[in-house]
Amino acid sequence: MKRYKYYILSLAVLCSFSACDSLLNEDPLYSQNSNIVFQTEDNAELALLGCYGYMSASNAYGQMWQEAPIVASGLAWAQRPEDLNSLNTLAANSLVSLAWGGMYKAIAEINAFLESIDKSGLSVAVKTQKGGEAKFLRALAYYNLVSTFGDVPLKTVASSSEGISIARSPREEVFSQITQDLVDALSISEKSAVGRANSWAVKAFLGKVYYKMAALGIDAAANWQNAKNMFDAVYTSHVYSLEPKFANLFGEYVSTSKESIFQMNYSTGNANGCYNRGSNRFAPQASTSGINWSTYRVAKFAYDMHEGTYPGDPRIDVNFLTKWRARNGNNQANPKPQVGTALCANDSVCTYPYWKIKYTDMTVPGSNNVNMEVIAKMPYAEFPNPKNPSLSVCDNYEATHGASPYNSSVAKAVNDFAKTGNAEKWPYFGKLYDQTQTGTMAHKNLMVYRYAEMLLLMADVYNELGDTPKAISLANEVLARARKSGAVPSAQPADWSASLTKEQVTEKLYFERIIELCGEPSIYDMVRIRGTVYFKKFLELNTTHELTILGEKNYTSSVNNFADRLLNNGSLTDDFLKKNLLLPIPTSEIDANPGLTNNDNNFGY
């Protein structure tokens, strides 16, 4: 199947833009020359690929719409100032500004394209197909904005002459535009090349939009039913299916998975084009053949939530990078030479929840008398609550279990994980990792929306509409795939019991979506999609996490900021939760757009 790669088009007719401080005021030159650009279908196709290109660019899904939503989700840890990752985001945060600008840049291009194709003499069929694809992209862009920022300026025309000063539109109006664009896009072809929209992707995404509206209380009764109708149509078509092995979703340039509803395609062949920087931003330093800086990690409580919920779940080793071969720095083609005749623990770096035990009475075979190391793991089965490792259990492990190299190392390992100055004590987001990275470019495409997410949202819809058994059945499809994703089938995640209540299923689905979609662009939305009640349940895993509490004590007593931190000092107030349902409108936009003032920002900012 043909695989499209998107590039920011270098043609002057597509890339000459009027300068403007506000990103809402981008004015593509070709919108003023549609008679030239749209004389043929090929011209329109080239311009449409430019729209896809802006959605895959670095300020969009190429970097910022991976980096910002994952870091701000609540699952991330970073050494950087306590801002986005600590849910204490500043309106001046550069990632927030760039992510905002990336979506509005794409919207400006799409608006210009739609106006130009509408004025062209191309056939109705061409206008319907290409215009429908563009409207799908605009709907996706506005969904990202309204889900992340709430009320946002709504612009659907190409000309900037009427719109330098644009106030925020209520989210209901934004969702109305999103649904209208998607309804219009239902007329496009049922089939498409990978990375292009088709009518089945439109239906699946429209179901997600209706779900979001219902969860927000926007005409809830009608929109739960609307979501069901869209999801049912996609489900019964069998167009999509779950990838048999979970890890295969995140390999090199995945382009033929039937689980992918919509994705961005990338290449490392053109550093001036669109490429995926996810691995560059999230992988450990000196862990790939490219450039990495260990910028972001996974908070310990987020790892423990998954491990404690589903011990042995094959998805754990995909969601989290905890072991890798070290290199002698960035841009090194190969890892360090192995120590002995065969690969062993000495050749790897490991991080939470793993540590190394060195044996002074054994050496690595074939080495120059190097003491052998083995990798040990936190004793989760010993904890009263495996989602929250017990410090008392660890501190007394040797006393309660007897002397041995492992038993004697547990208490020290836990203290090492919590002390300041230890930079390698958090797992990393594994789905983004590319060991063969080229420079800052990953050899990966990016799934924006996939079938497993749809199934879990669909399950929630059925549960809301009173069909809890159907909801459980749909969730069990996702769990069954997870169990079968290892080298041998796993006992976990086990199927959910048919005796679960509606309320229990709602909560289990909430956390299952966080587990399934950890480290993906939709994770910010999934953490908040059920409002402050469930958001608080999730964040309480941080504020009650014993290792995090110990890390916070160490952090407050040291100038070294390599330590865990409690969110909002452990106080999950109603105001803190309400504030963090959204990110702030960026200062850069408020300064540039006369239609906005600081008083217009979201609650708490």
- Phi-psi region at 153: left, alpha or beta (left = phi > 0; alpha = psi -120 to 50): beta
What average pLDDT does range 41-59 have in this prediction?
Answer: 96
- Phi-psi region at 328: left, alpha or beta (left = phi > 0; alpha = psi -120 to 50): alpha
- pLDDT value of residue 82: 65
What average pLDDT does range 163-183 have in this prediction?
Answer: 93
- Whether 384 has a pLDDT exceeding 80, the answer reads yes
- Whether 282 has a pLDDT exceeding 50, the answer reads yes
- The confidence band for 556, taking pLDDT boundaries of 50, 70 and 90, is confident
- What one-letter code names the amino acid at 179? T
Q: Are 506 and 533 in contact (CB under 8 A)?
A: no
Q: Which residue is associated with the tokens 């070290």?
A: 326
- Whether 161 has a pLDDT exceeding 60, the answer reads no
CA 230, 234, 238 angle in degrees (round to 5)? Answer: 165
- pLDDT value of residue 29: 41
- Whether 174 has a pLDDT exceeding 80, the answer reads yes
- pLDDT value of residue 17: 30
What average pLDDT does range 463-476 have in this prediction?
Answer: 98
- pLDDT value of residue 3: 41
- Whether 18 has a pLDDT exceeding 50, the answer reads no
Task: Dump pLDDT digits (tens) for 255-267.
Answer: 999 999 999 999 8
Half-sphere exposure of 32 (CA within 13 A, CB side): 13
| Token digits of residue 108 | 């400006």
Q: What predicted TM-score, i.e. pTM, was given to this entire model?
A: 0.94
What ranges in 248-366 are assigned the alpha helix state H?
Answer: 278-282, 300-309, 316-319
- pLDDT value of residue 11: 33
- The confidence band for 271, taking pLDDT boundaries of 50, 70 and 90, is low
- pLDDT value of residue 381: 97
- pLDDT value of residue 13: 33
Say how far apart CA 417 and CA 351 lie, in whole Å. Answer: 9
- pLDDT value of residue 1: 36
Task: Compute φ and ψ for 280, nearest 5 degrees.
Answer: -60, -40
Mean pLDDT of the chain: 92
- Whether 99 has a pLDDT exceeding 70, the answer reads yes
Task: Dump pLDDT digits (tens) for 25-45.
Answer: 444 444 434 445 688 999 999
Say how far apart CA 68 and CA 604 lie, in whole Å. Answer: 19
Q: Are 455 and 307 in contact (CB under 8 A)?
A: no
Task: Dump pLDDT digits (tens) for 415-450.
Answer: 999 887 767 799 999 999 999 999 999 999 999 999
What ranges in 277-404 are assigned the alpha helix state H?
Answer: 278-282, 300-309, 316-319, 391-395, 397-401
- pLDDT value of residue 159: 62
Say how far apart CA 450 and CA 447 lie, in whole Å. Answer: 7
Task: Dump pLDDT digits (tens) for 500-534.
Answer: 999 999 999 999 999 999 999 999 999 999 999 99
Say how far apart CA 359 and CA 413 lie, in whole Å. Answer: 16
| Token digits of residue 341 | 């005749």
- pLDDT value of residue 560: 64
Q: Are 558 and 67 in contact (CB under 8 A)?
A: no
Q: Are 71 and 80 in contact (CB under 8 A)?
A: no
- Whether 274 has a pLDDT exceeding 80, the answer reads yes
| Token digits of residue 359 | 């044996």
Most confident of 7-21, 43-57, 553-567: 43-57
Residue percentage of the chain with pLDDT more than 90: 86
Fold designation for 13-184+573-605: 1.25.40
Domain residue limits, the chain: 13-184+573-605, 278-432
Say how far apart CA 160 and CA 24 lie, in whole Å. Answer: 8
- Whether 9 has a pLDDT exceeding 60, the answer reads no
- Whether 15 has a pLDDT exceeding 60, the answer reads no
- The confidence band for 239, taking pLDDT boundaries of 50, 70 and 90, is very high
- pLDDT value of residue 2: 39
What ranges in 253-374 are assigned the alpha helix state H?
Answer: 278-282, 300-309, 316-319
Residue percentage of the chain with pLDDT more than 70: 91
Q: Are 544 and 90 in contact (CB under 8 A)?
A: no
Task: Dump pLDDT digits (tens) for 183-209.
Answer: 999 999 999 998 999 999 999 999 999
Q: Which residue is associated with the tokens 């509490």?
A: 549
What average pLDDT does range 411-417 have in this prediction?
Answer: 93
Task: Dump pLDDT digits (tens) for 323-351.
Answer: 999 999 999 999 999 999 999 999 999 99
